[in-house]
Amino acid sequence: MEAEARSAKPRYGMWSNTGFMLSIAWRVSRNVPFAVTAMAVCASGAAITELFIAPVILGRIESHASASGTMLAIAAFTAVLMALNGAHEYLDTCKVFDRTEVRDNLLWSIGRKTAGTSYINTLDPAFRAAERKCSDACNSNWAPTERFWSTWTEILTNVIGFAVYLAVLSGLDPRLIAVVIATAAASYLSGRRINEWGYRHREEGQTALKRFDYLNDLGAKREYAKDIRIFGLRPWILELRAGALRTLAAFHARRERTTMWANVIDVALTFARNGVAYAYLIWITLAQELSASQFLLYFTAISGFGMWVTGILDQFAELNKESLELSQIREFLDWPEPFAFEDGEPLQRRIGHAYQITLDHVSFRYPGAGVDTLTDVNLDIHAGERLAVVGLNGAGKTTLIKLVCGFLDPTAGRVLLDGEDIRRYDRRDYYELFAAVFQDFSVLDSTIAQNVAQRFDGIDRERVRACLHEAGLADAVDALPGGPDAHIGRAVYEDGVELSGGQTQRLMLARALYKDAPILLLDEPTAALDPIAENDIYLHYNRMTAGRTSVFISHRLASTRFCDRIIFLSDGRIAEQGTHESLLAAGGGYARLFAVQSKYYRDGVAGDTGGDADGTDAAEGGTL
Ligand SMILES: Nc1ncnc2c1ncn2[C@@H]1O[C@H](COP(=O)(O)OP(=O)(O)OP(=O)(O)O)[C@@H](O)[C@H]1O
């Protein structure tokens, strides 16, 4: 709804957006407005020169002027035309990069907004849709944010041409000029209906195209290759693709039908305009005995005059469309930030300080959801405590972690850092207190060392090595050509290494350790690890978390035993809390889940591998 409201009523108008673009150009590339004006002068100058060539030459022939003078006039006209067209071409090809810089600047602003916005915005479908539209409006040299300058060139060209032609025609009956303007305006209006149709059905056309492109690309996507083959998805995808193509073709056919009628109207109006104009010209030529050169000048000027009028109207309509896109970009850049950033209180990280975090009557509901994910949660995460969070799928564990680290703000209640509401602080300063391993990874295509240190320069290589070692990845990295300087990922580097799921998870753990933050958040950090690697992490867990506050989510209940406290989430509430032993003794939900997990180990595997009879070996237990 919000997205619709945004596109329906632009907040910024055409003139405001022109000012906005000029201000960016002024900062980034001052040549742009000058090139726009110069190109308009060249283009209109060339058209005006062409208007005069034939009548002037004909006039000289009529008046029996000297042949050499006529040749000189032709040479002069040719030189002027060459100079104007040459200058126009030069500006058009050599100054295009200046315009691209302005567009890049916008793209950069959009990227900065997206990467830095309050995390909750990234969950908002309206925000994501707006971001996509903004990126589309900047994605090529033909995108509206770059075409905008060409449109202004066209407008200025047409305005100059209009003024000069009007001056030429001023000696004729003003009613003729009125007829030319009126028919040109009528042509424009019928053309505008087409544009409006296109604009109104833009989403429909884009959706049909997107669906077709998606299905068209599907077969080539590597991540689908296995499923397509094993499940025999080919006929299904081809059928869907054929359906999408039919929808797209039907949309194009409708558009073409609408366009055809506008073209018919345009031809009829042009025919009427030219008929009236030429009849009038022939009449005054006969009545007032106009010379052939004057007749030719008026004749050419009348045909061209209508073009300038439609040119001005068309280009303003074009500018209006581009302005809508620019308004969307500006509205996106203005998108409200629920979190405080630079406007918040700075938060200095205190070296050696163990922070306490409190959830005070915290409830949280995702935007658009019908029920709360967390309800009235009260929790003190004590300074230096190792807290484990367990619960069934969807119990709200990850949501709890996101509230703790300030990705989400409670819909009711408060999150406190050492007793102070975190909403008062610059949220980016607050993030500095955390290192985390989340369930979804973000590995950049760069070197292993850079991924661990999350920087390009100034990497502490000794620390990278120590963290890789702690995360159990040092041996695998040493075996790679280049070691920590080996590239990972194939999107950028053809020789990039592809890490396995477990190795990537260890890399993420090494990254979290490198940050050396006072609070460590681990959301199922061992889900992709083999049992030996997992056990290794557990053995090192005390060392990893020494001097830090940590929150550890795991589905493997036995793995939480080495935490100081376990909270068991159920239906968005803390149902039970205590140590592993006290929770087992209490015989509640945690104990029941633990019994289910350890059953298979007691009945089989654990017995075979020598696990404890009570099923409390660190490596035991399946996942919930
Ligand atoms: N972005 C979102 N928008 C709407 N609902 C969400 C969103 N993210 C999570 N939820 C819902 O919130 C509930 C809790 O999700 P959460 O990821 O916190 O659970 P979890 O305990 O970590 O689950 P799991 O063990 O599967 O990782 C789920 O019902 C989920 O559908």
145 close to ligand 1 (CB < 6 Angstrom): no
Distance 398 CA to ligand 1 centre (A): 7
572 close to ligand 1 (CB < 6 Angstrom): no
Ligand 1 pocket: which of 363, 364, 373 to mutate (most atoms within 8 A of CB): 373
SS3 for 285-326, per residue? HHHHCCCHHHHHHHHHHHHHHHHHHHHHHHHHHHHHHHHHHH
Distance 112 CA to ligand 1 centre (A): 27
Cβ contact 327:12 at 8 Å: yes
CA distance 186 to 306: 11
What was the pLDDT predicted at 317? 86
119 close to ligand 1 (CB < 6 Angstrom): no
The domain 357-443+499-603 having CATH identifier 3.40.50.2300: the answer here is no
Q: What is the pLDDT of residues 118-147, one digit of tens each?
A: 999 999 989 999 999 999 999 888 899 999
Q: Look up the CATH number of domain 14-334.
A: 1.20.1560.10
Nearest CA to ligand 1 atom 7: 366
Distance 451 CA to ligand 1 centre (A): 27
Q: Which residues of the chain have pLDDT under 50?
A: 1-7, 605-624
366 close to ligand 1 (CB < 6 Angstrom): yes
The backbone torsions φ and ψ at residue 357, rounded to the nearest 5 degrees and listed phi first, read -120, 135
Distance 437 CA to ligand 1 centre (A): 17
* First vs last C-alpha separation in the chain: 38
What was the pLDDT predicted at 347? 94
Ligand 1 pocket: which of 128, 363, 399 to mutate (most atoms within 8 A of CB): 399
394 close to ligand 1 (CB < 6 Angstrom): yes
Inter-residue long-range contacts of 467-472, CB under 8 Å, 24+ positions, other chains counted: 467/510, 467/511, 467/513, 467/514, 468/506, 468/507, 468/510, 470/509, 470/510, 470/513, 470/540, 470/543, 470/544, 471/506, 471/507, 471/509, 471/510, 471/513, 471/537, 472/506, 472/533, 472/536, 472/537
What angle in degrees, to the nearest 10, is found between the helix axes of 67-94 and 31-62?
160
398 close to ligand 1 (CB < 6 Angstrom): yes
399 close to ligand 1 (CB < 6 Angstrom): yes
Ligand 1 pocket: which of 124, 366, 440, 554 to mutate (most atoms within 8 A of CB): 366
Query: CATH 1.20.1560.10 residue ranges in the chain?
Result: 14-334
Query: CATH 3.40.50.300 residue ranges in the chain?
Result: 357-443+499-603
Please give the ipTM for the structure prediction. 0.97
What was the pLDDT predicted at 103? 95
The backbone torsions φ and ψ at residue 522, rounded to the nearest 5 degrees and listed phi first, read -125, 110
